[in-house]
Structure 1
Amino acid sequence: MLATTLRRSKRSLTHLQSPRRHGGSLSKNKHIENWNNWRGDSEKRFQFNRQFFTSLVGWGVVPFTLYYVLSSSERRKRDSHSGGQEMLRQ
Protein backbone atom coordinates (compact mmCIF):
# COMPACT_ATOMS: atom_id res chain seq x y z
CA MET A 1 0.00 0.00 0.00
CA LEU A 2 2.82 2.39 0.76
CA ALA A 3 4.43 1.65 -2.61
CA THR A 4 1.16 2.41 -4.41
CA THR A 5 0.79 5.69 -2.56
CA LEU A 6 4.34 6.73 -3.37
CA ARG A 7 3.86 5.81 -7.03
CA ARG A 8 0.68 7.87 -7.21
CA SER A 9 2.26 10.87 -5.49
CA LYS A 10 5.26 10.69 -7.85
CA ARG A 11 2.92 10.61 -10.85
CA SER A 12 0.97 13.61 -9.57
CA LEU A 13 4.21 15.56 -8.95
CA THR A 14 5.44 14.95 -12.49
CA HIS A 15 2.03 16.04 -13.78
CA LEU A 16 2.23 19.29 -11.78
CA GLN A 17 5.78 20.03 -12.92
CA SER A 18 5.02 19.52 -16.59
CA PRO A 19 5.83 22.60 -18.72
CA ARG A 20 2.58 22.13 -20.64
CA ARG A 21 0.38 22.26 -17.55
CA HIS A 22 -1.54 25.34 -18.74
CA GLY A 23 -2.24 23.94 -22.19
CA GLY A 24 -0.03 26.39 -24.07
CA SER A 25 2.19 25.38 -26.95
CA LEU A 26 5.92 25.05 -26.50
CA SER A 27 6.72 26.30 -29.98
CA LYS A 28 7.22 30.02 -30.53
CA ASN A 29 4.65 31.97 -32.49
CA LYS A 30 6.39 33.50 -35.51
CA HIS A 31 4.11 36.54 -35.68
CA ILE A 32 4.55 37.40 -32.01
CA GLU A 33 8.31 37.07 -32.32
CA ASN A 34 8.34 39.34 -35.38
CA TRP A 35 6.20 41.95 -33.63
CA ASN A 36 8.39 41.80 -30.52
CA ASN A 37 11.54 42.32 -32.59
CA TRP A 38 9.92 45.20 -34.49
CA ARG A 39 8.84 46.83 -31.23
CA GLY A 40 12.29 46.35 -29.70
CA ASP A 41 13.99 48.09 -32.63
CA SER A 42 11.68 51.11 -32.61
CA GLU A 43 14.33 53.49 -31.26
CA LYS A 44 16.52 52.71 -34.28
CA ARG A 45 13.71 53.54 -36.73
CA PHE A 46 12.50 56.71 -34.99
CA GLN A 47 12.87 59.92 -37.00
CA PHE A 48 11.59 63.34 -36.03
CA ASN A 49 10.47 64.46 -39.47
CA ARG A 50 7.47 66.17 -41.06
CA GLN A 51 5.36 62.98 -41.17
CA PHE A 52 5.93 62.30 -37.45
CA PHE A 53 5.15 65.91 -36.50
CA THR A 54 1.96 65.88 -38.58
CA SER A 55 0.89 62.62 -36.99
CA LEU A 56 1.69 63.93 -33.51
CA VAL A 57 -0.39 67.06 -34.03
CA GLY A 58 -3.20 65.15 -35.74
CA TRP A 59 -3.59 62.47 -33.07
CA GLY A 60 -2.23 64.23 -29.98
CA VAL A 61 -3.36 67.86 -30.14
CA VAL A 62 -6.38 68.21 -32.42
CA PRO A 63 -8.74 65.71 -30.69
CA PHE A 64 -8.10 67.15 -27.23
CA THR A 65 -8.47 70.73 -28.44
CA LEU A 66 -11.74 69.80 -30.13
CA TYR A 67 -12.93 68.10 -26.94
CA TYR A 68 -12.05 71.18 -24.88
CA VAL A 69 -13.85 73.56 -27.25
CA LEU A 70 -17.01 71.43 -27.32
CA SER A 71 -17.11 70.87 -23.56
CA SER A 72 -16.45 74.51 -22.72
CA SER A 73 -19.23 75.66 -25.06
CA GLU A 74 -21.63 73.19 -23.41
CA ARG A 75 -20.58 74.47 -19.98
CA ARG A 76 -21.19 78.07 -21.03
CA LYS A 77 -24.66 77.17 -22.36
CA ARG A 78 -25.51 75.33 -19.15
CA ASP A 79 -24.28 78.20 -17.01
CA SER A 80 -26.20 80.78 -19.00
CA HIS A 81 -29.42 78.80 -18.53
CA SER A 82 -28.95 78.31 -14.79
CA GLY A 83 -27.33 81.67 -14.04
CA GLY A 84 -25.68 80.36 -10.89
CA GLN A 85 -22.11 80.02 -12.07
CA GLU A 86 -21.80 83.60 -13.32
CA MET A 87 -21.96 84.90 -9.77
CA LEU A 88 -19.15 82.57 -8.69
CA ARG A 89 -16.82 83.74 -11.46
CA GLN A 90 -17.04 87.44 -10.56
Structure 2
Amino acid sequence: MFIVNLTYKTQLEKIDQFLNAHIEFLNEQYESGNFLASGRKIPRTGGIILSNVASKSELEKIIKKDPFKKNELAHYEVIEFVPSKTCDELKFLMA
Protein backbone atom coordinates (compact mmCIF):
# COMPACT_ATOMS: atom_id res chain seq x y z
CA MET A 1 0.00 0.00 0.00
CA PHE A 2 1.15 3.55 -0.66
CA ILE A 3 0.66 7.03 0.70
CA VAL A 4 1.14 9.72 -1.93
CA ASN A 5 1.94 13.07 -0.35
CA LEU A 6 1.39 15.96 -2.78
CA THR A 7 2.85 19.37 -1.98
CA TYR A 8 1.87 22.29 -4.16
CA LYS A 9 4.73 24.15 -5.85
CA THR A 10 2.65 27.14 -6.95
CA GLN A 11 -0.12 29.50 -5.89
CA LEU A 12 -3.63 28.13 -5.29
CA GLU A 13 -4.99 30.22 -8.17
CA LYS A 14 -2.88 28.12 -10.56
CA ILE A 15 -3.87 24.87 -8.77
CA ASP A 16 -7.55 25.77 -9.10
CA GLN A 17 -7.16 26.16 -12.89
CA PHE A 18 -6.35 22.42 -13.09
CA LEU A 19 -8.54 21.18 -10.23
CA ASN A 20 -11.37 19.81 -12.38
CA ALA A 21 -8.90 17.88 -14.55
CA HIS A 22 -7.21 16.55 -11.39
CA ILE A 23 -10.59 15.41 -10.03
CA GLU A 24 -11.32 13.62 -13.32
CA PHE A 25 -7.95 11.87 -13.00
CA LEU A 26 -8.81 10.83 -9.43
CA ASN A 27 -12.24 9.54 -10.52
CA GLU A 28 -10.62 7.38 -13.22
CA GLN A 29 -8.24 5.89 -10.67
CA TYR A 30 -11.06 5.13 -8.23
CA GLU A 31 -13.01 3.43 -11.03
CA SER A 32 -9.90 1.39 -11.87
CA GLY A 33 -9.55 0.35 -8.22
CA ASN A 34 -6.15 2.04 -7.85
CA PHE A 35 -7.04 4.63 -5.20
CA LEU A 36 -8.74 4.06 -1.84
CA ALA A 37 -8.95 7.58 -0.40
CA SER A 38 -7.79 11.10 -1.21
CA GLY A 39 -8.21 14.62 0.04
CA ARG A 40 -6.77 18.05 0.72
CA LYS A 41 -4.30 18.82 3.46
CA ILE A 42 -5.22 21.43 6.05
CA PRO A 43 -3.94 24.03 5.56
CA ARG A 44 -4.36 23.64 1.79
CA THR A 45 -0.74 23.06 0.83
CA GLY A 46 -1.34 19.85 -1.12
CA GLY A 47 -3.11 16.55 -0.73
CA ILE A 48 -2.89 12.89 0.24
CA ILE A 49 -3.79 9.81 -1.80
CA LEU A 50 -3.96 6.24 -0.47
CA SER A 51 -3.28 3.66 -3.15
CA ASN A 52 -3.32 -0.11 -3.25
CA VAL A 53 -1.57 -0.69 -6.58
CA ALA A 54 0.82 -3.62 -6.77
CA SER A 55 4.12 -1.76 -7.13
CA LYS A 56 5.77 1.62 -6.74
CA SER A 57 6.72 1.65 -10.42
CA GLU A 58 3.09 1.08 -11.40
CA LEU A 59 1.99 3.93 -9.12
CA GLU A 60 4.63 6.25 -10.56
CA LYS A 61 3.26 5.56 -14.07
CA ILE A 62 -0.24 6.43 -12.83
CA ILE A 63 0.97 9.64 -11.17
CA LYS A 64 2.51 10.82 -14.45
CA LYS A 65 -1.07 11.07 -15.82
CA ASP A 66 -2.16 13.51 -13.09
CA PRO A 67 -2.64 17.04 -14.50
CA PHE A 68 -0.92 18.45 -11.40
CA LYS A 69 2.15 16.33 -12.27
CA LYS A 70 1.97 17.01 -16.02
CA ASN A 71 1.92 20.76 -15.38
CA GLU A 72 4.58 20.62 -12.63
CA LEU A 73 2.19 22.07 -10.04
CA ALA A 74 2.97 19.63 -7.23
CA HIS A 75 5.80 17.58 -5.78
CA TYR A 76 4.91 13.90 -5.16
CA GLU A 77 6.38 11.85 -2.33
CA VAL A 78 5.48 8.15 -2.51
CA ILE A 79 5.67 6.24 0.77
CA GLU A 80 5.24 2.47 0.74
CA PHE A 81 4.00 0.65 3.81
CA VAL A 82 2.58 -2.72 4.80
CA PRO A 83 -0.63 -2.42 6.82
CA SER A 84 -0.33 -4.70 9.80
CA LYS A 85 -3.66 -3.69 11.32
CA THR A 86 -6.86 -2.28 9.81
CA CYS A 87 -10.47 -1.71 10.77
CA ASP A 88 -12.90 -4.50 9.84
CA GLU A 89 -14.08 -2.57 6.76
CA LEU A 90 -10.55 -2.65 5.31
CA LYS A 91 -9.55 -6.26 6.03
CA PHE A 92 -9.43 -6.91 2.29
CA LEU A 93 -6.30 -4.77 2.12
CA MET A 94 -4.32 -7.31 4.07
CA ALA A 95 -5.22 -10.21 1.80
Structure 1 length-normalised TM: 0.20
Higher relative contact order structure (alpha carbons within 8 Å, sequence separation ≥ 6): 2
In terms of fraction of residues, the more helix-rich structure is 1
Larger radius of gyration between Structure 1 and Structure 2 = 1
Structure 2 length-normalised TM: 0.19
In terms of fraction of residues, the more strand-rich structure is 2
